[in-house]
Amino acid sequence: MVRAVTFLGASCVGKTSVFELLKKDRSFDWFDKIDGITRQLVKEGRIEPSFTSVQNQKLIFDKYAELLNTDCYVSDRGIIDVHTFTKTIPASIQRDVELKRQLDFINVSEYFLPVIFYFPIYWEVESDGERMADAERRKCWDAEIRKFLMERRLSYEVVPNDTPFNRLKFIKSVLSTRMNLG
């Protein structure tokens, strides 16, 4: 039985486009839709926009970690995204301490991880002023995600390079084998 679903992937890989379609799909009515946690933290003034702040990563990770205590949600990111992104921040004692904290939490919470849909990089980064547009760091992030999934031997589904509509159709077909999703 599927209790939760998360989209996993670097920036500009199509997660948000699919998520926006999913929010309108009646098949997912009984799921809480969790998106924009980082944007919400910025809006609330709890973090400043930054792609290098370890403190931001700590707060973002903790918000996604709270989700693991709930059922029936789908999120556009999760703790694996945050952890692997933290690994792309330049090395420092602060970063290494936070990475250890995150990994310790993941180790004791791995059983509660949601169904994972991994969105690989299929196209170039789109610079929109909001998302990280550093193509090399984005590739590094994607490599960290794949490494994490493989080293942990986590079960995940690779979302194909297709239109957002067809990607959602793929996600629904995978979930339909695990639950009664119309």
108: number of Cβ within 10 Å:
8
* Mean pLDDT, 10 residues at a time, the chain of 182 residues: 86 93 94 90 88 93 91 92 96 97 94 92 75 83 96 95 97 84 50
pLDDT recorded at residue 49:
84
pLDDT recorded at residue 178:
76
C-alpha 72/C-alpha 157 separation (Å) is: 19
User: Is the four-CA dihedral 117, 118, 119, 125 of positive or negative sign?
Assistant: positive
C-alpha 10/C-alpha 88 separation (Å) is: 11
> Most distant CA pair in the chain: distance in Å?
49
* Closest residue by Cα to residue 5 from 137, 152, 120, 119: 119
pLDDT recorded at residue 50:
83
**Residue 158: strand pairing partners:** 118
